[in-house]
Amino acid sequence: MREHLDAAELNMMKTIEVVSKDFASLRAGRAAPALLDKITVDYYGAPTPINQLATVSVPEARLLVIQPWDKSAIGEIERAILKSDLGITPASDGNIIRLVVPQLTEERRRELVKYLKRKGEEGKVAIRNIRRDTLEQLKIMKDGGGFSEDDLRRGQDEVQKLTDRYVKEIDRIVTAKEKEVMEI
């Protein structure tokens, strides 16, 4: 039974990591290198993340500077940024690329909050699915004579406690990011 509970907790932690990583790449009016995490550049025929082609720095609160190690990649990096859903136009001087992160409008902030809540709900559904699968595994073990009804009940209680804890963690992450997005 312990291995099923440990596996469930590990999967729930992975779900939290996925939600957190997804939120990190969300633009909240401030420049952050994580904004570029989902963007890949066609570099010599291979899709390559920008952070593997260049140094990304944040010299000012609303400015990202991308300094490619290979100057010939500047055009490809610019094209990848333009194709992305980032909504920022890159400015290049031939050596570095500057991305000025614009202030978010109130309407865009509200859209981002809706997106955050939807992604948070998807994370909660994933956690509840892990709970359901774990409970099914425990019932199968009990039916197979692996342990008693009391052991099953204890296992169910423990799975529910894990579920509650990780659902609260997702709520906390969503609330924190929502506060950051709505901050002017």
Give all domains of the chain, ordered by start, each with its CATH number: 2-24+105-182 (1.10.132.20), 33-100 (3.30.1360.40)
| Secondary structure letter of residue 160 according to DSSP | H
- Residue 149 and residue 143 in contact, taking contact as beta carbons nearer than 8 Å: no
According to the model, what pLDDT value does residue 31 have? 74
Kindly state the tokens that stand for 167. 């659902």
- pLDDT for 27 equals 63
How would you write the pLDDT of the chain (184 residues) with one tens digit per residue?
Answer: 788 899 999 999 999 999 988 887 676 667 778 888 888 898 888 899 988 889 988 888 888 899 999 888 888 988 888 888 777 888 888 889 998 887 778 887 888 888 889 999 999 999 999 999 999 998 988 888 777 888 889 999 999 999 999 999 999 999 998 888 887 6
Nearest to 119 by CA among 177, 162, 35, 40: 177
Whole-prediction pTM value?
A: 0.68
pLDDT of residue 184: 61
Distances (CA, A) of 23 to 12, 81, 134, 158: 17, 19, 27, 29
Q: DSSP secondary structure string, 1-45?
A: -HHHHHHHHHHHHHHHHHHHHHHHTS--SS--GGGGTT-EEEETT
Predicted confidence at residue 28, as pLDDT, reads 65
Cβ 181 vs Cβ 116: under 8 Å: yes
What is residue 103's predicted lDDT score, i.e. its pLDDT? Answer: 78
Number of other CB atoms surrounding residue 136 within 10 Å: 11
